[in-house]
Structure 1
Amino acid sequence: MEMKNITLKFGGVTAIKDISFDIREGEIRAIIGPNGAGKSSMLNVISGFYKPQEGEVWFRGAVRGPVKPFQVAQEGIARTFQNIALFEGMSVLDNIMTGRLTHMKTNMVAQAMWWGAAEKEENENREKVERIIDFLEIQAIRKTPVGRLPYGLKKRVELARALAAEPMLLLLDEPMAGMNVEEKEDMSRFILDVNDEFGTTIALIEHDMGVVMDLSDRVVVMDYGKKIGDGTPDEVRSNQAVIDAYLGVSHD
Structure 2
Amino acid sequence: MTVSQGTADRRHELAANLAALRRRVIAACRNAGRDPEEITVIAVTKTFPAADIRLLHELGVHDVGENRDQEARAKRAELAAGGFDPDLLRWHFIGALQVNKCRSVARYAAMVHSVDRAEQLPRLAAGARERGRVLPCLVQVNLDPEVSPGRRGVPPADALTLADLLADTPGLELRGVMGIAPLDGEPAAAFATLAQVARKLQARYPAATVLSAGMSGDLEAAIAAGATHVRIGAALLGTRVVGV
Task: Name the TM-score, length of structure 2 as normaliser.
Answer: 0.37
Larger Rg: 1
Bigger relative contact order, structure 1 or 2, given CA contacts below 8 A and separation 6+?
Answer: 1
Task: Name the TM-score, length of structure 1 as normaliser.
Answer: 0.36
